[in-house]
Structure 1
Amino acid sequence: MWQGVRVTEGGPAPAPGEWLSLPEVADRLEISVSKVNQLIRDGGLLAVRRDRVPQVPAELVANQTVLKHLPGVITVLRDAGYTDEELLRWLYTEDETLPGTPAVALGTGGATEVKRRAQALGF
């Protein structure tokens, strides 16, 4: 069974630019949907239910791979006590000192700074 994040009605949802269904993620990564589910369960990728359908922010999937540093950031923030919903909210909160949001920075050369900030949240 899919174990992703559920965004509740009335609660602020993360705001990525584009969403992908799990079959779309599987197509991009050239893997099966069951392997996408496994990535989500193992903390290599994040997803939320939108209209009762699990979806992944498109920015987290670069070409034919998950953003290189995303699994490490997920692990660090989970270890700091963040829920997956809080983690997604953090990834998509605008930051004037980064090129947009931490999610965007992960894919545009700001990964080291994003990882450093995620590690600092654990202390």
Structure 2
Amino acid sequence: MNDIHESTLDDLVGDWLTLPDVADVLDLEIRRVRGLVADRHLLGVKRGERTTFQVPAAFLVTTDDGTHVLETLRGTATLLQDAGFDDAEALRWLFTGQDTLGGETPVAAMRAGRRAEVRRLAQALA
């Protein structure tokens, strides 16, 4: 990944978590977190000086019931993959404001419970 590509994602995403950080926050074993990535419940990229795999912190949601993975991410990630997006491209799309969402990012809309709008947009990309 070149520096321009990485800094663009950094500017869009903001806060990142390593897999051990995700495991700590979710109180899971690291192998379970790797399973969430393998099953596309979480998306991420290798980044940073040591090129460690990291996921956006925005994919974790804290409620009264604790912290969990954003439930609507998996289906949306699958639609983006079906449209030919790799994980870095999917992250860029998820964290870029969309006019049809009033300038809001798809990830912010999903966190606000507007899954259907985001999925319609993602389906239109195919």
**Do these two structures clear the TM 0.5 threshold for a shared fold by scoring above it?**
yes
Aligned residue runs from structure 1 range 12-91, under 5 A? 13-14=8-9, 15-51=12-48, 52-63=51-62, 64-91=67-94
Question: Which structure has the higher relative contact order (CA within 8 Å, separation 6+)?
Answer: 1
- Are the aligned partners of 1:98 and 1:110 in contact in 2 as well (CA < 8 Å)? no
Matches of 2:26 and 2:57 in 1, distance apart? 12
What's 1:10 paired with? 4
What is the CA-CA distance between 1:17 and the residue it aligns to? 2.7
What is the CA-CA distance between 1:96 and the residue it aligns to? 3.8
- Are the aligned partners of 2:44 and 2:88 in contact in 1 as well (CA < 8 Å)? no
- Are the aligned partners of 2:42 and 2:69 in contact in 1 as well (CA < 8 Å)? yes
Matches of 2:14 and 2:100 in 1, distance apart? 20
Partner SS for 1:82:
coil
Residue deviations 1:70-118 (CA, integer Å, cap 9, x gap)? 0000111111111111101100111244262111111012221001111
Matches of 2:100 and 2:123 in 1, distance apart? 17
- Are the aligned partners of 2:23 and 2:30 in contact in 1 as well (CA < 8 Å)? yes
What is the CA-CA distance between 1:36 and the residue it aligns to? 1.1
What's 2:122 paired with? 118
Matches of 2:69 and 2:81 in 1, distance apart? 18
Structure 2 stretches lacking a partner, 5+ long: none
Matches of 2:98 and 2:115 in 1, distance apart? 14
CA RMSD, 1 decimal: 1.6
Structure 1 stretches lacking a partner, 5+ long: 1-6
87, 90, 103: which one aligns with 2:107:
103
Matches of 2:33 and 2:86 in 1, distance apart? 20
Matches of 1:95 and 1:59 in 2, distance apart? 17
What's 1:4 paired with? none
What is the CA-CA distance between 1:54 and the residue it aligns to? 1.4
Runs of 4+ that moved beyond 6 A: none
Q: State the TM-score, normalizing by the size of structure 1.
A: 0.84
